[in-house]
Amino acid sequence: MEFKFSMPTEIYFGKDVVLKNKEAFSAIGSKALIVTGRNSSKKNGSYDDVTKALSQTGVDYVLFDEVEENPSLETIEKGSDIGKRNHVDFVIGIGGGSPMDAAKAMAVFIKNPGINKENIFSAGKLESLPVVTVPTTSGTGSEVTQYSIVTSNKEKTKKNLGQRIFPKFAFIDSKYTFYIPYNITVSTAIDAFTHLVEGYLNTNSTYMSDIYGEKGFELFKYCFEKLVSKDLNQEFRNKIMMASVLGGIQIAQNGTSLPHGMGYPLTYFKGLPHGLANGVLTIEYLKSFKDQSKINRMLNLLGLSRLEELEDILNKLIDVKIDISEEEINEYSNKFFINKDKLKNHPEEVGFEDIVRIYSKSLLK
């Protein structure tokens, strides 16, 4: 047995972890750039907890609260400029994956003043300011991953920034997620599920990473029941948050694979939320495996006996009708097929025709 496993982010999970561990903020800096989306963090208590913790420990801060969903490099430059002008020495991302990923990217841009949206992808390995994450959705796992997924309008796609930006601390408190609307709860939960699936059925998977995947599937047995019955109590919120963290730890080791890579154009061109973009492709992706043995193990942990039962659950949760042509599918498949990073994470040989088939069977119904 041989593997590498690295989780440098210090993880605090539970009720009120931000205030209980407020000294962590003053230990890493004296002035923070807080990065959030436009509204939710001010309503769900996360922004209040963080600013209280900073005030109580004498840490100064400035706020950038303009991060949109699927954050663009333009927004990242804008937030970085505020950070640079205010001489911040660390960055706190509060929110869903979009503000957390934007915070990580800003931490790189602020630390490296010569970096901008034109040269970031050819810059090589860069240092970043320390980052703290406070997730308020249960989906991306970004609080514990090194990835920052950004929108490049120049390349008309979403892509990984290409830097390893593991947060220094992740403060994970499911109370911030109690009032997420049902549709966002579903799309983010499906993102977490697809991380577990793609990290588990992955060329890079190991005995160690499988532990996270398999625990995650056990949690999803309960979470899928609650999602389908729309019974989103606090126990559900806690478990789905844990499943999301486990998925994040697993993809931090292994990466994602086909559905994530293939889902990006569905978000960029068709406006599909990230989780649904992966989720809508998941069943056909699973069916495409020649070796179904690990999929059967996953189904067993989910309390299911056949793939069709999982299909039934996802069909109940995902109601997506997108207008897409065969030409567009060919175009997306071409673009994806050049992306060797995702293809090499898929443990079986796939051809261009397989990619077209997964898109077509999933979307041309």
Alpha-carbon distances of 215 from 32, 36, 100, 146, 286, rounded to whole Å: 35, 30, 25, 21, 19
Helix (H) or strand (E) holding 65: strand 60-67
In the complex with Fe ion, the residue whose CB is nearer, 63 or 189, is: 189
Q: Is the Cβ–Cβ distance between 32 and 25 less than 8 Å?
A: yes
Stretch of 2-10, 126-134, 175-183, 314-322 contacting ligand NAP, by CB under 6 A: 175-183
Stretch of 40-48, 53-61, 293-301, 336-344 contacting ligand NAP, by CB under 6 A: 40-48
In the complex with Fe ion, the residue whose CB is nearer, 50 or 277, is: 277
In the complex with ligand NAP, the residue whose CB is nearer, 152 or 330, is: 152
191 binds Fe ion (CB under 5 A): yes
Residues 293-332 that bind ligand NAP (CB under 6 A): none
83 binds ligand NAP (CB under 6 A): no
In angstroms, the CA 222 to CA 215 distance is 12
Give the one residue of 35, 120, 130, 191 binding ligand NAP; rule: CB under 6 A: 191
Angle at 24 between CA 21 and CA 27, to 5 degrees: 150
Binding site partner of 153, from Fe ion, ligand NAP, none, Cβ cut-off 5-8 A by kind: none
In the complex with ligand NAP, the residue whose CB is nearer, 65 or 210, is: 65
Report which DSSP code applies to 162: S
Q: Is the Cβ–Cβ distance between 103 and 35 less than 8 Å?
A: yes
Among all residues, whose Cβ is closest to Fe ion? 191
143 binds Fe ion (CB under 5 A): no
Give the one residue of 29, 79, 83, 96 binding ligand NAP; rule: CB under 6 A: 96
Q: Is the Cβ–Cβ distance between 86 and 33 less than 8 Å?
A: yes
- Which residue, 232, 190, 53, 216, is CA-closest to 134? 53
- Which residue, 345, 336, 192, is CA-closest to 254? 345
Residues of this chain that bind Fe ion (CB under 5 A): 191
Residues of this chain that bind ligand NAP (CB under 6 A): 37-41, 44, 69-70, 95-99, 101, 136-137, 139-142, 145, 147-149, 158, 176-177, 179-180, 184, 188, 191, 274-275
